[in-house]
């Protein structure tokens, strides 16, 4: 029988952390004993629990501790983290510590070092420059990689104080919520990010449905007015945005509603070809070939964007990063400083972004499909809120709200 | 081998009627021969086809003819309809003609008589007062009921000229359509109904999500401004509307967003009980116990409503018709004169209404769930258009559009 | 400032009860103080918490206590329940206690009496025959109705020990779960219900999609083999079951796959008319007019069924209870003794049943639409498990599993 | 006013081609005149229509002709195709002809040349080696690219004779269809492809839900038995397949149902790392590190696979082609000879594949989400059939059906 003690501290009751932890122990068929428990007398006080775990073998114990860790349970003890040097580029040592996206500290030489940007599903590389979450593909031979759970602590997730603005939503993603209210509250959170010290960046992750539902001009207004600080999307979003501005259609459907059919089915190819001819979106803007829309406003107002390629892309646009590992690395470079992320009717790029974001980033997942919203809100950030609604009407109201300031 | 000839006339090519008819013949493993075909040279000219059908036996032929009939194919020949007297109340004679919701004429004594209001899945009762579509439960002993297809003709469905306003939607229900545009076009159709000679009534069929998504005040505005002429709903919609006005919550969720939890989970019972105490919604309005909301505006502006009961109802409100057959009959009484039907996030009552409506009524099915929209738009009216969107934001924009007039 | 003390006891940590309760207090803007807390040292020990609540006024306190009650929090103190006589039939006294579906006891004359069958959203009537949950419509003048929360205790929800069989599902309804495994586990729970002492009845609540997806013969096998003890459905399910057996089609679509089109669109009317001619489904079976299918097996094996009417019904079948209040009452009469409820691709009747079921009934909600499953599983029984799958293939595997015994 | 004449020939009535074409003309606000119309007297005879089109300007005419072309309407006249040399690599000449996925011929020097593999949204390059559909990124300076519609004819889509096996499905994707029947018919089509002369290859395009729903072993059986000839997927599918075989979990959820929690949340990283250590999936198989599952069977039975990267990938596996343009090219190389494509709960890779497939490939899109199925079936192949069902139970039945042979 193996025994270990873990500590949980913070708002572990109202964040559901403690019950989840007990659940995990039981489903592993392990035993627990509550050694110490201090419950906050009021809702402002943190709680603290010491939990003694017993399992039949050390393998189960290691798995259990790794699981509990994701919830913010830390091994008790004063040991340093164990570090093993990477042998082969892109291959991690056995038993590597897999990161969470919670604030993380690692103990080296008796000192606790903060991990620079906590990204989940990475390795922890600790060297003279500090501690970094490094994706598997990026570890190089010789990199000192943390193995095992010992000497690593994470901060349990907590509910942001200001998220109480959304408490009427009861946390579950359902379409049956007061929508006008939700738009107003999201607008408040965007404003709050910009007013914070230091200001938080606002990231928009956009799917093609933003354009198809007619919300392109609304998102363009938000970019032009300075509300969006960085934009992630794919070839489809950018192409349809450009097509709708160059040719007045999106996927061949007229945005002004005149005609129909499969009119201009190849319009997106014409738009892509035109941008390829100029060499980049920015070049097309500079030469007057593109005079409006979201990508135009990004170029004009120097809002950085990353277009990540996908295997279904036509063309693609010259700005698309066709190597997906390079595309994810480009996205990573923009994340420090992001305070609010808006996932706008995007599945692929929203999941990709959710995988990269720190847990503390407030994330709003807007999609008309409940299954997609649930999937997105379940992953990534603990601060994610799913909003099942029509992105077309949502962005129109959001832009009306923010741009009247 | 049995042979019959049917005629199809009208806009049978661009309404897809002819291809559907040929499909049905082939899937019945019957043969067809095109005896005559006059195709409209231009899109303003009607077409006409005479089709000779051959089947192995008369039972298959009868089934085939009944199917084709739904598409507007009529048996050629000058025979009167065959009529058999009903023997038992609520039981139809064998071989009864089952109605479509297309404009229908029946030949009696050499004269073609128009069916008063074409409702589908009914019997055709022909007596001195004329020809009526009568639901099975309502036939009485002695009623002369049409049997077989002979002597009954229907007018093939056609696309309304003005529906071209929605041609950019390509007819398929998808969430990825320009939404601002769609709202504006629906508003135009509502205005057009009211301006028509004679004016068409606008029917709203409402589900509880209208209230949950915060659109109650918007729908109330539309009622108060005279845009809604009749309203169908269930106990849930009316209860949550009244609850949100009496107690500030809908299903216990605050509409103003202050608090949360399962606060006021029994508020809907309190609201129902209060109305039961007064005896009716109108009485509660009269005595000042209900001072706002959709039902309040209906009572105040004398907009008739039918609340049809369902087996899941709490209470129910005293205005709810708990016998479902009586409820459907009450709904029927309001349908003549309806020009536009708005199905607002309702499944049960929307399907019920779709079953009762004539094919010529312009019907807009608004729901956030694509499967529901497809189901609704596939049934009932040939004029149905499915709009996959958030009813909360949709009604807000619709009311803004119509009420600024 | 008002202060009250409530007690929570049982598996309040791993059932998430305590965190939910603290959440509700905070969202009501009330304060709490943990007066006493005994946490089970191990996962077999129950926990117990005494919570002192403070609110600004008594109205908020009353609402808060009512909410907490739903989670199993009981007011501390030894008072009897307050009882007020009902004045008007179907109207409850002000401040009536609204029931939960948790096991409930009420204190009268110093004695705690068990409520016979705990149904939610009812009044509590206490007389010489005991304590009963009575729906609003059924209270009669003079009925002694409990008002306020005092003197009523409920047992907090707990997870059934055997539900651990489904712990791999993580509680959230998602389609991405190992389906073969789930079918096997549901079969185990059905077997366990029948083997229990006393045996639990198995209730099937069926929507028309059971027939459309081709699972009619599989459900009929389950009925014939004795696995289903009571069946709830609507006119649609029974009609399509009978149609598919009498005429080989369901909603006009051939179940054997030969033909197609809208073949036999009126077949359901023919089937209904035939049963109406006989007077009842049982009479049609007796006279050989119906020789197979789910309803046939119910009649043959004396499995009771309730067909609850709905406003969209054609016909309806003579067995359909068209008054929805009477239909719900008929459903109520079959619920005592039900141990497992299978909600099979039904929305309307499944929600109706969920409203009536005690929290302790193991409920499996099977539907292909995640939004429906989530909605169903969120309501009614705390033991509800949502399974997002195809009911057609699910029932086939379930019948294969259970009927090979 | 501009006038052109187009010809439509084939089964243009029962394939709905003619009505669609007339629709497009009207929505372009163009006029048509039916110059000649020969309708097949019976359903075995083809029809033929000559249509004279009139528009206000030549730009509208060019767009209209391009649209009609997608439906199989060809310009009448004996001109050669116009060819312009490509100037810049990856940039097409203005007015380039955009391909459809219908069988296509191009007229050069008075001779009609068949396009080797018709892929949509490509350019048409005609040189001494023949006529090829070339994606935009692959055109090189000097490539002779067809511009305009003249001299290019396509064959209108037709329904496959054998697809009549699915006529009972009515063509629309709905979950309410007899599922046992559908599985059996899909199995028949797979068998028919293998028995054809020359045999058609069967392509499986797989999403991760195949593994999560427990269907991995069933798909592995199909691969081992020789039913799958080529497999496309992404990093997620392959990783979860390998994880479930190496570690017994999929996304950390036990496939055998023992435990739960977020057990082994990082198991997928462990599995990926292990394969990276070996260098490739095949190497891991060879060295005994991977001993079962779909990828194992592919390696063992020499079934080629393409794993196309995506921006959300962890790792990725060494076999993943991270450049999406290269990945699509790799997929292209396997398509000639494919007769049946099974899209198994995949969105990204299924859409990508649908973009590449010739219209003549029978395609079955299986997903539990109706919106996804509709989207997939609407794109790509005219032979696509959407099946809304649970891929877990579907594959189990399909494997049972095919592997008992």
Q: Nearest to residue D240, comparing CAs of D231, D249, D228, D229? A: D249
A27: chain C residues, CB-CB within 8 Å = 164, 167
Contact between D314 and A355 using a beta-carbon 8 Å cutoff: yes
Cα–Cα distances (Å) from D244 to A375, B220, B335, D290, D291, in that order, read: 21, 55, 59, 10, 11
B36: chain D residues, CB-CB within 8 Å = none
Q: Which of D70, D137, D351 sits opposite A315 (nearest CB)?
A: D137
Q: What is the pLDDT of residue B259?
A: 42
Contact between B181 and A257 using a beta-carbon 8 Å cutoff: yes
A397 in contact with chain B, both atoms CB, cutoff 8 A: yes
A351 in contact with chain D, both atoms CB, cutoff 8 A: yes
Q: What is the pLDDT of residue B180?
A: 85
CB burial readout B242-252, b (16+ within 10 A) else e: bbbbbbebbbb
B326: chain C residues, CB-CB within 8 Å = 322
Measured CA to CA, the distance from residue D379 to residue D387 in angstroms comes to: 14
Helix (H, G, I), strand (E, B) or coil at D195: helix
Interface test with B, best of A14, A163, A177, A178 (most B CBs within 10 A): A178
CB C106 within 8 A of CB C130: no
> What tokens appear for D395 in the block?
């594959």
Q: What is the pLDDT of residue C86?
A: 97
The residue ranges of DSSP E strands in D291-391, in sequence order, are 305-308, 320-321, 338-344, 362-367, 384-388
Q: Which of A15, A37, A42 sits opposite C39 (nearest CB)?
A: A37
Q: What is the pLDDT of residue B263?
A: 43
Cα-Cα-Cα-Cα torsion C84, C89, C92, C97, nearest 10 degrees, comes to 70
Q: What is the pLDDT of residue C309?
A: 97
Share of chain B above pLDDT 90, in %: 64
Interface test with D, best of C43, C165, C166, C179 (most D CBs within 10 A): C179
Residue-wise pLDDT for D364-389, tens only, equals 999 988 877 877 776 655 667 888 89
Q: What is the pLDDT of residue D169?
A: 54
Contact between B31 and D42 using a beta-carbon 8 Å cutoff: yes
Interface test with D, best of A102, A251, A312, A356 (most D CBs within 10 A): A312
DSSP-assigned letter for residue C297: H
The interface predicted TM-score (ipTM) is 0.90
Contact between D214 and C261 using a beta-carbon 8 Å cutoff: no
> What tokens appear for D216 in the block?
């991995």
C–D CB contacts, 8 A cutoff, strictly below: 134
> What tokens appear for C301 in the block?
């094996």
B35 in contact with chain D, both atoms CB, cutoff 8 A: no
Interface test with C, best of B261, B271, B331, B371 (most C CBs within 10 A): B261
Cα–Cα distances (Å) from B76 to A68, B30, B80, C36, C319, in that order, read: 77, 18, 12, 87, 40
88-107 in chain D: CB under 8 A from chain B: none
Q: Could you tell me the fold of the domain covering A1-76?
A: Alpha-Beta Plaits (3.30.70)
Residue-wise pLDDT for B332-386, tens only, equals 999 999 999 999 999 999 999 999 999 889 999 999 888 778 777 766 556 678 8
Question: Candidates 3.30.2310.20, 1.10.260.40, 2.40.420.10, 3.10.310.10; correct CATH number of C78-157?
Answer: 2.40.420.10
Cα-Cα-Cα-Cα torsion B100, B102, B108, B113, nearest 10 degrees, comes to 150
Contact between B32 and D43 using a beta-carbon 8 Å cutoff: yes
C52 in contact with chain B, both atoms CB, cutoff 8 A: no
Q: Which of the residue ranges B257-261, C114-118, C244-248 would you say has the lowest mean pLDDT?
A: B257-261
Residue-wise pLDDT for B76-106, tens only, equals 887 999 999 999 999 999 999 999 999 999 9
Residue-wise pLDDT for B288-329, tens only, equals 999 999 999 999 999 999 999 999 999 999 999 999 999 999
Measured CA to CA, the distance from residue D325 to residue A317 in angstroms comes to: 12
Q: Region C273-299: what's the mean pLDDT?
A: 97
Measured CA to CA, the distance from residue A115 to residue A203 in angstroms comes to: 22
Q: What is the pLDDT of residue C224?
A: 98
Helix (H, G, I), strand (E, B) or coil at A43: coil
B55 in contact with chain D, both atoms CB, cutoff 8 A: no
Measured CA to CA, the distance from residue B15 to residue B161 in angstroms comes to: 12
Q: Which residues pair with C99 in a beta bridge?
A: none
What rounded mean pLDDT belongs to chain D?
88
Q: Which residues pair with D84 in a beta bridge?
A: D145
CB burial readout D179-188, b (16+ within 10 A) else e: bbbbbebbbe
Q: Residue A160 burial by CB count (10 A; 0-12/13-18/19+): exposed, middle or buried?
A: middle
Q: What is the pLDDT of residue C275?
A: 98
Please tell me which residue of chain A has the smallest CA distance to B184: A257
Measured CA to CA, the distance from residue D119 to residue D99 in angstroms comes to: 7
Q: Region A196-216: what's the mean pLDDT?
A: 95
Start-to-end CA distance of chain D, whole Å, equals: 64
Measured CA to CA, the distance from residue B256 to residue B244 in angstroms comes to: 10
- CATH placement of domain D161-403: 3.40.50.10690
Contact between B393 and A388 using a beta-carbon 8 Å cutoff: no
Contact between B214 and A180 using a beta-carbon 8 Å cutoff: yes
D78-157 has the same fold as D1-76: no
Q: What is the pLDDT of residue A160?
A: 46
A378 in contact with chain C, both atoms CB, cutoff 8 A: yes
- D261, pLDDT greater than 50: no
CB C24 within 8 A of CB C8: no
Question: Could you give the residue ranges of the DSSP H alpha helices within A199-336?
Answer: 209-212, 216-224, 235-246, 267-278, 281-286, 294-300, 324-333
A371 in contact with chain C, both atoms CB, cutoff 8 A: yes
Top-tier CATH class for A78-156: mainly beta
Question: How many helices and strands, by DSSP H and E, does chain A display?
Answer: 13, 19
- D15, pLDDT greater than 70: no
Residue B213 region by backbone torsions, left for phi larger than 0, else alpha for psi between -120 and 50, else beta: alpha
List CB contacts of C24: < 8 A, sequence separation 6 or more. B260, B261, B262, B263, C64, C67, C68, C71
247-306 in chain C: CB under 8 A from chain D: 250-251, 253-261
Q: Region A173-189: what's the mean pLDDT?
A: 85
B323 in contact with chain D, both atoms CB, cutoff 8 A: no
Contact between C170 and D261 using a beta-carbon 8 Å cutoff: yes
What ranges do the domains of chain D cover? Answer: 1-76, 78-157, 161-403
- A262, pLDDT greater than 60: no
C178: chain D residues, CB-CB within 8 Å = 212-214, 250, 253, 255, 257, 392
Q: What are phi and psi of D97, to 5 degrees?
A: -75, 125
DSSP-assigned letter for residue C138: G
- C312 min Cα distance to partner chain B (Å): 4
Measured CA to CA, the distance from residue A253 to residue A42 in angstroms comes to: 57
Top-tier CATH class for B87-158: mainly beta
Q: What is the pLDDT of residue C85?
A: 97
Q: Which residue has the tokens 């007990």?
A: A22
CB B188 within 8 A of CB B366: no
> What tokens appear for C108 in the block?
């009268």
Q: Which of the residue ranges A108-122, B153-167, C137-151 would you say has the lowest mean pLDDT?
A: B153-167
- C259, pLDDT greater than 50: no
Q: Region C27-31: what's the mean pLDDT?
A: 82
Q: Which residues pair with D204 in a beta bridge?
A: D231, D342
For the whole prediction, is pTM greater than 0.95? no
Contact between C393 and D177 using a beta-carbon 8 Å cutoff: no
Q: Which residues pair with B125 in a beta bridge?
A: B132, B145
Contact between A209 and B176 using a beta-carbon 8 Å cutoff: yes
CB C290 within 8 A of CB C246: yes
> What tokens appear for D144 in the block?
């002779």
Contact between C392 and D209 using a beta-carbon 8 Å cutoff: no
What rounded mean pLDDT belongs to chain C?
88
C347: chain B residues, CB-CB within 8 Å = 347
CB C125 within 8 A of CB C134: yes
Q: What are phi and psi of C221, to 5 degrees?
A: -60, -45
151-190 in chain B: CB under 8 A from chain D: 164, 167, 172, 174-175
Q: Which of C19, C25, C167 sits opposite A19 (nearest CB)?
A: C19
CB C361 within 8 A of CB C348: no
């Amino acid at each position: 029988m193996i025994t270990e003690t873990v500590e949980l501290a913070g708002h572990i009751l109202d964040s559901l952390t403690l019950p989840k932890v007990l659940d995990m122990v039981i489903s592993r068929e392990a035993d627990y004993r509550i050694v110490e428990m201090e419950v906050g007398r009021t809702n402002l006080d943190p709680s603290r629990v010491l939990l003694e775990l017993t399992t039949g073998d050390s393998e189960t114990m290691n798995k259990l501790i790794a699981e509990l860790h994701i919830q913010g349970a830390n091994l008790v003890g004063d040991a340093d983290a164990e570090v093993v040097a990477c042998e082969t580029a892109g291959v991690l040592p056995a038993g590597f510590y897999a990161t969470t996206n919670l604030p993380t500290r690692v103990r080296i030489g008796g000192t606790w070092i903060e991990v620079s940007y906590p990204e989940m599903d990475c390795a922890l590389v600790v060297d003279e420059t500090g501690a970094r979450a490094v994706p598997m593909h990026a570890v190089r031979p010789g990199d000192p990689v943390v193995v095992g759970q010992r000497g690593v602590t994470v901060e349990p997730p907590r509910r942001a104080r200001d998220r109480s603005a959304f408490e009427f939503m009861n946390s579950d993603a359902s379409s049956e919520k007061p929508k006008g209210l939700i738009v107003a509250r999201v607008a408040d959170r965007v404003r709050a990010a910009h007013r914070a010290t230091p200001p938080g960046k606002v990231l928009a992750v956009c799917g093609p449905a933003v354009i198809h539902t007619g919300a392109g001009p609304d998102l363009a207004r938000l970019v032009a007015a300075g509300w969006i600080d960085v934009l992630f999307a794919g070839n489809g979003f950018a192409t349809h945005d450009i097509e709708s501005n160059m040719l007045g259609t999106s996927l061949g459907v007229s945005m002004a509603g005149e005609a129909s059919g499969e009119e201009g089915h190849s319009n997106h190819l014409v738009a892509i070809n035109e941008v390829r001819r100029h060499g980049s979106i920015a070049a097309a803007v500079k030469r007057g070939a593109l005079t409006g829309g979201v990508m135009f406003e990004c170029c004009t107002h120097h809002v950085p964007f990353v277009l990540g390629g996908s295997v279904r892309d036509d063309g693609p646009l010259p700005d698309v990063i066709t190597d997906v590992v390079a595309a994810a690395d480009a996205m990573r470079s923009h994340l420090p400083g992001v305070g609010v992320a808006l996932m706008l009717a995007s599945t692929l790029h929203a999941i990709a972004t959710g995988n990269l974001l720190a847990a503390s980033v407030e994330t709003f997942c807007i999609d008309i499909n409940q299954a997609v919203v649930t999937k997105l809100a379940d992953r990534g950030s603990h601060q994610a809120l799913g909003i099942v609604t029509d992105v077309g009407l949502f962005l129109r109201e959001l832009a009306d709200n923010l741009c009247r300031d």
